[in-house]
Structure 1
């Protein structure tokens, strides 16, 4: 049986109605959790379903939800909206050694519509990730270290940008959301940890200790 995500059946009118309900509610919407079907659908490409003003309002709202969570990225499907839109911002302050090991540098806020990415080179890196739609869990995910992102900005300009390190990880994670992919789909399953166990045992700059303790991603023989 195929596990490939299927396109959402939301019409443009239904997307617009859903967004209006969220914008008019007067409160920050909840982040939907794994098991909600919208997280397992390919979102609809943005094609004018919202006016410029509505799109701007939705982006602002998503940024507020992301900050409150707190997180460094949020995709529209995480609010129950199957539209290819995500926001990202990473200003988390980390120990210098941790930041260097993870290649984590500040990422200024930006929104992307209809994104796609391609790996640059063959290098990959594995680190623990979490997700606002999978509360309480973290797992190690191997991803390309550098990617080229092709996306449309909120102003309608089609843009290409290259990302590396943790910024590339965020970009990939959020783009995956728009295609019905959760980070656990790409994770080393033996690495899955509760937040409490991760904090108590495996919260280190890299995954070497967790890899040895939990028996995942074994070292390549002869390396």
Structure 2
């Protein structure tokens, strides 16, 4: 396994829809192993293949709930269904999100509280996950990456302007911008 560089906002692979995986091969399994290693080193709770420069519809996730129960997996070619969003502004304390592709920052974002994700596991088995709360947020966030959407793309005008200022100041927003977990000193 290897820790892979994580692409930063502005790299074209992050802003384009990813391609479906035709076949789960040893190369796909090795990529997923590397994605877990990268996510754990970062550390993060999810990581999509485009974030490591691979334009495929794959993401991994890992979360430990309030009762110390681990929840970890990989989904290939996921489909996402969600309940309609509750109207209103996001609560900055309860609904703030961060992203390994916009490291060191968090912004409030309203997400659906319940989702259903279906897809395929690494052994070709069907995967069906119905979750709510923080887990639903993780699923929506990672699924967005597969459609070329970063969470900062969903922010309101005021926060979006702040994102643009941060990106300019840090030299992001260009092809090839990346950081390496465990090596680069970034707060993700």
TM-score, normalising length: structure 2: 0.74
2:135 to 167, 171, 183: 167
Q: Which residue of the partner structure matches residue 183 of structure 2?
A: none
**Cα distance, 1:129 vs. partner?**
0.4
- Any stretches of 5+ residues in structure 2 without a counterpart? 164-188
CA contact (8 A) 1:139 1:189 kept: no
Which residues of 2 match residues 102-181 of structure 1 at below 5 A?
106=69, 108-120=71-83, 123=86, 126=90, 127-181=95-149
Q: 1:41 to 1:105 in 2, by over 3 A?
A: farther
Q: CA RMSD in A?
A: 2.5
Say which SS state the counterpart of residue 7 (structure 2) adopts. Answer: coil
Partners of 1:60 and 1:152 lie apart in 2 by 16
Give runs of aligned pairs for residues 25-44 of structure 1, distance below 5 A.
27-44=2-19
Instruction: Please state how far the C-alpha of 1:106 moved relative to its aligned partner.
Output: 4.9
* Structure 1 residues 39 and 75: CA distance shift in structure 2, 3 A: same
Higher helix share: 1
Q: Which residue of 1 aligns with 2:48?
A: 75
TM-score (normalizing by structure 1): 0.63
**RCO comparison, higher one (Cα < 8 Å, 6+):** 2
Seen in structure 2, the aligned counterparts of structure 1 residues 162 and 185 have a Cα distance that, compared at 3 Å, is same
